[in-house]
A and B are shown apart, each in its own frame.
Chain A
């Protein structure tokens, strides 16, 4: 609804749009307990929001500067109601969400502000919820939102990039969605519903892009496949206490086969076209894991090959690190260690030293292994991370995090 209203009013009136939606929800909270939830709650909300929007425009439209193309229609009683009503039509609501997504992910808005703005306006998260999701305080989020809104207001109208513009504009949108997903997937700091909500919202937004003809591009399908592969394993990835279970220890019967099948189909669809993105390769790696019968029965040589391609596309220390781990599985600890020691830039990462410790131990170098482990322990940032290291040390398991 915020999307529909923002398209009507223009981005400079985001607050006006949010006020209307908030008032609508307040009205629902007041009315529904007395009169019961209406048969079609969404239609009810849209009707109330539409009427409130019309009221607002009647009262304020002379004073506020509206978008040029809508101003005349919103100022005349001939067309006011019909114009607002049309914006609330079902099919345009979905389009407006996408327009809003593109606006929130506009290159002029810094990345972390984009995510905060998308969570607030598109996913309906409250400021305290966003603060919890980012493990920070409300003041920081409010500041971030304030700055994001300033930039958002300057955009003017909500647009849907078309033609040549579509692909480059899609890139930051996808990476914001992936960031949103990872915030939910990787954080071990909070165990409440926000984690799942963030994962779900990331999937929902990406699914929306996959359903729209302009944005249903190979990279969209690849990202959706990648996130679905991860989401399929999320149940098995945490134990009852909320601690991370390593890939090799995960109960593979808990993996969601239906989601894996869906992810495989999206990955196939992603293969259309000529462009190979990092999402494609990452999804392919996730697919090999998801379809492997067991950790040891995984096709490690294929995974090493995929990491080679990923390195060519987006070289980073993390990718080289993961490649070394896969190589250790494919060719043995000695090759893995040699490769691992060629990785630069992860000296401060506890995972890097934990991986070294394991490979050293596998090679019978117990003293070196203990030293690397102690280093990993001292670099771990949270009790949860240290706990995971201790468990690994007891059993000498692999470090791959599912």
Chain B
């Protein structure tokens, strides 16, 4: 019976590898208009700032940006172009954030406190694929 773990085995124990995860934000309208109520909109954006600041403090926040509504969809060999919006408002991607996490579970936990949840929006959390070939 093997009673002691040998040193080589110990050295082989790998640290959990960090992966990148993308948060895709869908829906979640702020409910305030930046033009008519700049102060209210500023307060809303401060809630995003607070959340992201906490993420940044862990050193695992890599970046991200909100997206303008609209845009173009391009498809097919002929690059057929259509104007946005392309979907129901609730399904429009309003922005993204990229974080670093050890697992999908950790990434999900990191999305806690995101202001979008209180504004009837959803966060789709996806691992960035490692393409080793």
Contacts and interface: CB of A to CB of B under 8 A. Distances in A.
A76 B63 contact: yes
A79 B95 contact: no
Interface residues of A, number: 13
Interface string B64-96: 111000000000000000000000000000010
Interface centre among B56, B57, B63, by most A CB within 10 Å?
B56
Contacts of B61: 72
Contacts of A73: 49, 52-53, 56
A85 B66 CA distance: 18
B65 A76 contact: yes
Interface in A299-318: none
A79 B63 contact: no
Contacts of B45: 78-79, 81-82
B32 interface: no
B48 interface: yes
Interface in A65-91: 69, 72-73, 75-79, 81-83, 85-86
A77 B97 CA distance: 11
A78 B56 contact: no
Give chain B's interface residue range (CB within 8 Å of chain A): 10 to 19
Contact of B46 (A72, A75, A77, A86): A86
Nearest to B59: A68
A75 to B, nearest CB: 6
Contact of A72 (B42, B48, B62): B62
Contacts of A79: 45, 48-49, 52-53
A193 B52 CA distance: 48
A79 B44 CA distance: 11
B61 to A, nearest CB: 5
18 contacts: A72-B52, A72-B62, A73-B53, A76-B63, A76-B64, A76-B65, A76-B97, A77-B65, A78-B45, A78-B48, A78-B52, A79-B48, A79-B52, A81-B42, A82-B42, A82-B45, A82-B46, A86-B46
Please name the 5 residue pairs, one residue from A and one from B, whose CB atoms are nearest each other, closest first. Answer: A82-B49, A72-B56, A77-B65, A79-B49, A82-B45
